[in-house]
Each structure stands twice: as C-alpha cells, then as structure tokens.
C-alpha cells in the first residue's frame, strides 16, 4: 500500500509539471515561449521513473503472456489490475503509452480505451475518460473519475455506429428530453471495453432538425452501464489486438438524468472533437511503441540469423531496412512529442495531433511489415512475435480517425493558414 500511495503521489507531481496533464492552462516549468530556446521534450525525474515502470511492466509481465491472450481473446483482467496497482491506469504521459504498447497493443488499448471517456486513468484510458476531463463539472468528475482512482474500473467511449465512423456528424442515436431525463435510443458499434465498462460517454443527437449544424445538434452524456434498456452484443474477434473487448451496444429507451449531460445540450460534438486532440498523441505513442518492438525484434533476429556464412544484419539489404525502420520510429516519436508539447504549452494542437496520429499509424504498419520480411518464413509463423505485431498495427490507421481523415484535417488546417496569410509577405507561422 505504501508503494501504491507513493505512485499516486508521483502521478500528482507529474500532472503538476505538465506533459499531457490535460489542463486548459499552460503547464508550469516548461521551456516554452522563449525565443531561441527551441523545443524541449526532456522528462522530469519523476516522469522518467514512471516511464521506466511502464517499460518494466511491459517487458516482465505483458510480453510473456501477450501471445496467449492473442490466441484466446480473453480480457486481460490480471494485467489491468496489476497496471492499476502500479499507477499505470492513471497515466497522462505519452511515453508510458509507448512503453505499454511495446508489450502488447491489445492490452494497451484495453487500458487506454478508458480515456476517451475520462482521463484520470490510463493504459488506454485516454479515450473514454477524456470528455469528462475536459467537459465534466466538479460533481461529474468526482463521481465518475474519482472512483477510478480507488479501484480498477473501466469506462467506454460510445460514439461510433454501424453507419457512422469517421463521419461523427452522421450518427443516428437520438436522445429526447422528457422531464428531468433524456431517453436514448440507438446503436453503437466497435466500442472498446463495451462489455467491461462501468459507465459510458455517449454522443447522441438531441436536435431533430436534420439541417441543424453538428456543433449544436449533438449532446454528450454519461451513461451508467447497468442502466435498464442497454443490450451488450457479443465480443468481436478482430484481426489484431484481440484481447481488447470490442462490442456493439444497443440503447433502447435508456433513461439518463439531466445531471449526466456534459456542459449542456448541443455541446456534444465540440466535446468529442476536443477529446480527439488530447487522445491522438497517446494513440500515436502506442503506435510508436509497437514499431519500436518490431524494430527490436527484427534487429535481434538479424544479429543471430546467418546466411552465406554471416549474420544477415551484415548484408546491406537488411541493414538498410533496419536503418529505415529506425528512422521512422525516431521521427514518429518526435511527432507525438511535439503534439503533446503543444498541449503543455497551452496551445491548440489539432494540426500536430493529426500529423502524429497519421504518421505514427503508417510507420507502425510499415515497420511491422518490414520486421516480418526480415524474419522471412519464420515471420509468417505464429511461434514468432512479429506476425502478431503486423496484425495489431493495422488498427492504428483506423481508430481515432482513419489515416485519410487525419490527412483531411491536416490539409484543412494547412490551407486555412495559407489563406489567412495569402496577402502577407511575412513568413507563415505554424498552425
């Protein structure tokens, strides 16, 4: 218990020093805003200790059982409990996501998925928690986030539907106000932690006018998972990240008190979009963690495997592949660090968050595929780790906004900036 208390105290200290602390104010003690100082991605001693804890947990406790969870698709309850004990379920540092994903992205996603709804918890709590963190009032945060620091409970982010994924404005789930309650009807799909969550962040249309702008048509709700009318579908067996609990959920006349509305009616779309800016850097960090694991596995194999009388790493064709893989990993890491740094500096990071997410997702797939190639026939076999990494990598180009959606966002932000300065001879600032 003493160790647990110490870990929690360390987390509070980390939040106070910034680095993805998700405050609306600029983080303290950061080297930002000083001309000539450049970017500083150096972590504090406390943050480095936290990073080391995540890496140790991944190497010693996740990697040894990752293949078994991949085969069975079983939800990693023991790992989640252990992560909570270590304080990793309350992480706000992208590096911790990278280290956890180094072990198994399925486990990382199961934990990180807790954050799109809130974000006092982590492994992949970033998604589920985030709306409550950025939009919840004091009572909502205390009730739903506070208890997540007391026990390893989960939450889920219910936005995606069978007919609406990247097009969030196309969701059909409706919420009708009746007295002091809202009655929700609709169907959600591909919900991470769908069958394990204690509560959901849910986005629903509250304005029946189809011409109403998205910025005013949707409302964000906190929905208790045991509410009458909720029907949880079967666990989906996906291509990769198989121990993540992914399900469809039907809401039929589900009653939610008005006290569970975030900010107010019509604010849901802005909340959801704001959450993505905060969660995409940790997702990118997870992709980098997977890529780094693939690079390390490929390098070890290349040092041991011999052809034509020498290790294959000494063949230029293979060594150049490893060099390219290393370049991609390092550049993707810089991308998510820049996006996180922008948050700590108190600036809007939409542009950099999308760059980080798109680039890291792409390189995770490229590096994992190259690792399989370096392993040759062994790479195609389930007895070796890289085929799983290749399968796990694909989702990084899909969830949290597809690779194509990220490029749309980047192009939009880029073009807006250039239009604004079309008649200005001064150098263009970054978005």
Mean pLDDT of 22-27: 39
CA distance 227 to 55: 38
Q: What is the pLDDT of residue 41?
A: 73
Burial class (CB in 10 A: 0-12, 13-18, 19+), 32: middle
Contacts of 336 (CB under 8 A, 6+ apart): 94, 281, 282, 284, 285, 288, 356, 360
User: pLDDT digits over 360-412, tens only?
Assistant: 999 999 999 999 999 999 999 999 999 999 999 999 999 989 999 999 999 99
Q: Per mean pLDDT, which of 229-233, 337-341, 344-348 is the most reliable?
A: 229-233
CA distance 148 to 129: 10
CA distance 112 to 122: 5
Q: What is the pLDDT of residue 357?
A: 97
Q: What is the pLDDT of residue 112?
A: 45
Q: Which helix (H) or strand (E) holds 208?
A: none
Kind of pairing between the strands at 199-205 and 230-232: unpaired
Closest alpha carbon to 182 in 265, 117, 116, 273: 265
pLDDT grade for 53, boundaries at 50, 70 and 90: confident
Mean pLDDT of 170-193: 97
User: pTM for the full model?
Assistant: 0.83
Q: Is the Cβ–Cβ distance between 324 and 370 less than 8 Å? A: yes
Give the Cβ contact number of residue 344 at 10 Å: 21
Q: What is the pLDDT of residue 97?
A: 59
**Options 3.60.20.10, 3.20.130.10, 2.40.110.10, 1.10.260.40; which CATH number does 155-266 get?**
2.40.110.10
Q: How many CA atoms lie within 13 A of 25 on its CB side?
A: 6
Q: Which helix (H) or strand (E) holds 157?
A: strand 155-158
pLDDT surpassing 50 at residue 428: yes
pLDDT grade for 27, boundaries at 50, 70 and 90: very low
Which one has a higher pLDDT value, 41 or 206? 206
CA distance 87 to 9: 10
CA distance 81 to 154: 11
Q: Residue written as tokens 């200005």?
A: 424
CA distance 413 to 423: 18
Q: What is the pLDDT of residue 110?
A: 46
Question: Lowest-confidence range among 163-172, 261-270, 289-298?
Answer: 163-172
pLDDT grade for 39, boundaries at 50, 70 and 90: confident
Give the DSSP per-residue string, 292-316: HHHHHHHHHHHHH-EETTEEGGGSH
Q: Is the Cβ–Cβ distance between 329 and 257 less than 8 Å? A: no
Which sequence spans correspond to the domains of the chain? 155-266, 270-420
Q: Which helix (H) or strand (E) holds 246?
A: strand 246-257
Specify whether 400 is catalytic: yes
* From 181, 304, 400, 413, the catalytic residue: 400
Contacts of 106 (CB under 8 A, 6+ apart): 66, 69, 70, 76, 240, 241, 242, 243, 244, 392
Question: Lowest-confidence range among 127-141, 254-268, 310-324?
Answer: 127-141
* Structure tokens that stand for 249 in this block: 């959920």
Q: What is the pLDDT of residue 427?
A: 65
Give the Cβ contact number of residue 423 at 10 Å: 6
| Architecture category of domain 270-420 in CATH | Up-down Bundle (1.20)
């Amino acid at each position: 218990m003493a160790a647990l208390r110490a870990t929690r105290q360390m987390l509070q200290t980390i939040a106070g020093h910034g680095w993805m602390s998700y405050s609306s104010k600029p983080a303290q003690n950061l080297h930002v805003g000083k001309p000539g100082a450049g970017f500083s991605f150096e972590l504090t001693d406390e943050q480095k200790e936290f990073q080391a804890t995540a890496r140790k947990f991944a190497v010693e406790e996740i990697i040894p059982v990752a293949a078994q969870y991949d085969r069975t698709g079983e939800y990693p309850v023991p790992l989640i409990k252990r992560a909570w004990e270590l304080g990793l379920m309350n992480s706000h540092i992208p590096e911790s996501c990278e280290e956890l994903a180094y072990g198994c992205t399925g486990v990382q996603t199961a934990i990180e998925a807790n954050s799109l709804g809130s974000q006092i918890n982590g492994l992949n709590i970033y998604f589920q928690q985030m709306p409550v963190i950025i939009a919840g009032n004091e009572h909502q945060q205390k009730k739903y986030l506070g208890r997540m620091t007391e026990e390893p409970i989960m939450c889920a982010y219910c936005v995606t539907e069978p007919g609406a994924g990247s097009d969030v404005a196309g969701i059909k789930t409706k919420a009708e106000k009746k007295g002091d309650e809202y009655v929700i009807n609709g169907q959600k799909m591909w919900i991470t932690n769908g069958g394990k969550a204690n509560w959901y962040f849910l986005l629903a249309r509250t304005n029946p006018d189809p011409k109403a702008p998205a910025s005013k048509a949707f409302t964000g709700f906190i929905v208790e998972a045991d509410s009458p009318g909720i029907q949880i579908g079967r666990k989906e067996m996906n291509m990769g990240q198989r121990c993540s609990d992914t399900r469809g959920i039907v809401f039929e006349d589900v009653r939610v008190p008005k006290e569970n509305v975030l900010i107010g009616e019509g604010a849901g779309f802005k909340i959801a979009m704001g959450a993505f800016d905060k969660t995409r850097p940790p997702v990118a960090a997870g992709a980098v963690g997977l890529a780094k694991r693939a690079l390390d596995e490929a390098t070890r194999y290349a040092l041991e495997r011999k052809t034509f009388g020498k290790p294959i790493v000494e063949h230029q064709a293979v060594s150049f592949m490893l060099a390219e893989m290393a370049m991609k990993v390092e550049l993707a890491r810089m991308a998510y660090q820049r996006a996180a740094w922008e948050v700590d500096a108190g600036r809007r990071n939409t542009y950099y968050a999308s760059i980080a997410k798109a680039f890291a997702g792409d390189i995770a797939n490229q590096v994992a595929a190259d690792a399989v190639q370096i392993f040759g026939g062994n790479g195609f076999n389930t007895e070796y780790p890289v085929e799983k990494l290749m399968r796990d990598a694909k989702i990084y180009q899909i969830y949290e906004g597809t690779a194509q959606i990220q490029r749309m966002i980047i192009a939009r932000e880029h073009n807006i900036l250039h239009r604004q300065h079309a008649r200005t001879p001064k150098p263009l600032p970054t978005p």
